[in-house]
Amino acid sequence: MTLRRRTALVALVASAACAATTAAPAMADNVPVSLTAVGGARQFDVIQTGSTSPLGTLDLGSTGSQSFRTRVRDANFETLSKSYSVTATMSNLYLRRGNGTHDVMTKVPASQVSLSKGALSADSVTADLLPKLSLNGTLPGCLTLPDAVKSTLGLSTSATSLLGLLTGITGPVLSLCNALTAAGPSGAAVSGTVDGALKQVTATVSDVTKLPNALTNGAGRSFDNADYSQDAVAAVDPAAPTAPTATGVNVMTGAAATTLPSELVASLKTALAAALPAQLVTATDTGSTTLARALDAITGTAVQTAVAALSATQQAALLNTLTPTLLDPTLATVKDITSTYYATPTLSAMRNAPVAGTYDGTLTLTFVQQ
Amino acid sequence: MTTTASRLVRAAVVAVLLLLAVPAAPASAAGTGGIEVTPVPGVVDGEQVTAFHVRLPRSGAREVDFALRNLTADPRSARLYAAEAHRTADGAFTVGAAGSSPYVVLPDEQVRLPGRALERRTFTVRGSVTGTTYAAVVLEGRKGSVVTRAATLVYLEPAPAASPSSSHRALLLGVVGVVVLGLIGLVLVLLRRRRRAEEEDLTEQARHLAGDGPVRSERD
């Protein structure tokens, strides 16, 4: 009998739970959710040295060398935790005939063409940052509040006892004073971290290794194995079918970010401190944080509830007695980055060609986003 | 749940999904020539996705979504294809020629997008790999003798290990059910025997009190 009763009970609970799970969503209202996506992007291109024009030809001329620039442009790019790299491959250079065609059998091998380690540079870094503020202090008993706050709360500034202070006081202010008195003789201690309002700030970096995606490049080297895949003449080179994998020469690498470099942190923090409003909170939420976020730092439920019941002006007066400290920006607080990164390598070819004349080939620059 | 309730639930879920789906525009991505390739969905586990992470199917093929976006106000063109990719000793990647990946199928074509246009595309993955293998979806632009490529990596993972088929699962459940029922039956039989023994003891005691004979202890 007991067993039967238990079985029946389990079945009842199970069916009730089932009914609750299935019935609840049917009763829920639809809540429209909208979001304006920023749509960050990272674009790669190759430009001429000293200008922003796209690179179309590299005339090595009589000197046998010519520099160019690779450029990676971040616009509100969010994913800093992944690396990227740019690698160059080179075809053989084939002799151009008088009629514009090429002699596939007369060539300067790619192994006699090299790419130097180019200088790296970057523009200033603009970051969308979510400031973090450490909020500390004590909300003392009503009797010891600063006079300006007392006045905003409608409390007497001349009362010398709590009883005298609260005579005739009702409503939220009375609740607040009671809650602060109940919190203890020293009042309600506040210690917490709050979010500020999203800010866009710009920082300069002295060194490309101090970028969020620290920039490095390889030592430079020759193209030992030619790339036969991107050049129409190379494609019909008898050596193409059995050619080994083309030699890739590293041009630039943006390392995956794990932390923000200290120099960048300092620069961003200075810019952030200048960008944030001086006042912690205002009645219209235009301070360095909002009333709601500052309230979250007050952990005592009774005091928090009592402060929340005050008018916005009264809340601001009370919360501004606390001390905010701007915390160091971290990778997590950087929402996106806008900047441009450059490498300026030089392509060089040995000039001891088998036959005098003009030789043409194809340089391929491949950007890889991990 | 009634059919009406079921329909309401489904309608609510679909409505919420639609509302959430509208703003799911591409976020972080990489490209060249003003066009970019973005994996879809663009955010996984709260993180922007910058590469494709694909588990190959155990058999057949699988479609993988991506978006092509023209970031500029003017029409833009680029060559689009899939290629094999290899990780080098220094951690960088080399990317092969068009159509060189045996696992990723994407027609080699010239794409042209109107200004600010967004197009949804798919590529197909197939075959089997033993460990993480790389490929890339490549956007290529050519100006004179300089080729510029932007490759979005495709991380190909082996197919998931075989799991028991549904018929195997049903058989396993049946066996477990029979064993559980058997155990319950055994417990009931033992309980009944014990109760019968207790009843016999009580009868024996009653007879003894009535002078029918000696009471035998359980130890006897």
Which tens digits make up the pLDDT trace of A200-231?
A: 999 988 899 999 999 999 889 999 999 999 99
Q: Is A39 on the interface with B (CB under 8 A)?
A: yes
**If you ran DSSP here, which 8-state letter would residue B98 be given?**
T
Nearest to A56 among B8, B23, B144 (CB): B144
SS3 track for A310-370 = CCHHHHHHHHCCCEEEECCCCHHHEEEEEEEEEEECEEEECCCCCCCCCEECCEEEEEEEC
Predicted confidence band of residue A37 (pLDDT cuts 50, 70, 90): low
Interface test with B, best of A44, A89, A250 (most B CBs within 10 A): A44
Is the CB of residue A292 less than 8 Å away from at least one CB of chain B?
no
The ipTM of this complex is: 0.81
> Rg of the Cα trace of chain B?
34
pLDDT computed for residue A19 by the predictor = 39
**CATH class of the domain whose range is A42-51+60-128+200-260+334-369:** mainly beta
Averaged pLDDT score across all residues of chain A: 88
Question: With an 8 Å Cβ cutoff, is A9 touching chain B?
Answer: no
- A21 touching chain B per CB within 8 A: no
Phi-psi region of B116 (alpha: psi -120 to 50; beta: other; left: phi over 0): left
Task: Flag whether residue A85 sits within 8 Å of chain B, measured between CB atoms.
Answer: yes
Helix (H) or strand (E) holding A165: helix A162-166
Q: Do A41 and B94 touch (CB under 8 A)?
A: no
Residue with tokens 């040995």: A350
The full DSSP string for A25-62 is: HHHPPP----------EEEEEEEETTS-SBP-----TT
Nearest-CB residue to B30 (from A42, A56, A248)? A42
Q: Which CATH class is domain B24-157?
A: mainly beta
Which of A323, A95, A75 has the alpha carbon at shortest distance from A192?
Answer: A323
Token pair listed for B109 = 């074509």
Q: List, by residue range, all CATH 2.60.40 domains of chain A.
A: 42-51+60-128+200-260+334-369
B150/A contact by beta carbon, under 8 A: yes
Average pLDDT over residues A354-370: 93
Per-residue model confidence (pLDDT) at position A58: 87
Nearest partner of B131 among B105, B152, B159, B153, judged by Cα: B159
Residue of chain B whose Cα is closest to the Cα of A248: B94
**Domains of chain B, residue spans:** 24-157, 163-211
To the nearest whole Å, the CA of B98 is away from the closest chain A CA by 8
pLDDT (tens digit per residue) in A147-186: 999 999 999 998 888 888 888 888 999 999 999 998 888 8
| For chain A, percent of residues with pLDDT exceeding 70 | 91
The pLDDT value recorded for residue B218 is 43
Task: Compare B104 and B42 and report the one with higher pLDDT.
Answer: B104
The residue in chain A having the minimum alpha-carbon distance to the alpha carbon of residue B118 is A39
Closest CB from B6, B19, B91 relative to A32: B19
- pLDDT greater than 80 at residue B175: no
**Residue B148 to chain A, least CA–CA distance (Å):** 5
* A40 part of contact set with chain B, CB < 8 Å: yes
- The answer to whether B163 contacts chain A (CB < 8 Å) is no
Examine the pLDDT at B159 and tell me if it is beyond 90. Answer: no
CB burial class (10 A; 0-12, 13-18, 19+) of residue A44?
A: buried
**What letter would DSSP give residue A98?**
T
Contact B135, B154 (CB under 8 A): yes
| Listed residue (B14, B19, B21, B11) closest to A27, CA to CA | B11
A329: tokens are 């920006």
Strand partners, A323: A136
DSSP per position, A114-151: EEE--EEEE--EEEEE--EEEEEEEE--GGGS-HHHHH
Mean pLDDT of B176-185: 76
pLDDT digits (tens, 9 = 90+) for B7-40: 444 443 333 333 333 334 445 668 999 999 999 9
Q: Kindly report the average pLDDT of chain B as a whole number.
A: 79
pLDDT at residue A17 greater than cutoff 50: no
- pLDDT value at position B193? 80
Dihedral angle, C-alpha B171, B177, B181, B183, nearest 10 °: 90
Per-residue pLDDT reduced to its tens digit, B117-155: 999 999 999 999 999 999 999 999 999 999 999 999 999
Looking at per-residue pLDDT, the higher value among A137 and A32 belongs to A137
Which element (helix H / strand E) includes B148?
A: strand B146-157
Cβ of residue A45 closer than 8 Å to a chain B Cβ: yes
pLDDT of A16 over the 70 cut: no
Q: What contacts B131, CB < 8 A, 6 or more positions away? A: B158
B97 vs A contacts (CB less than 8 Å): 229-230
pLDDT score recorded for residue B3: 43
Which is it for strands B109-113 and B52-55: parallel, antiparallel or unpaired?
Answer: unpaired
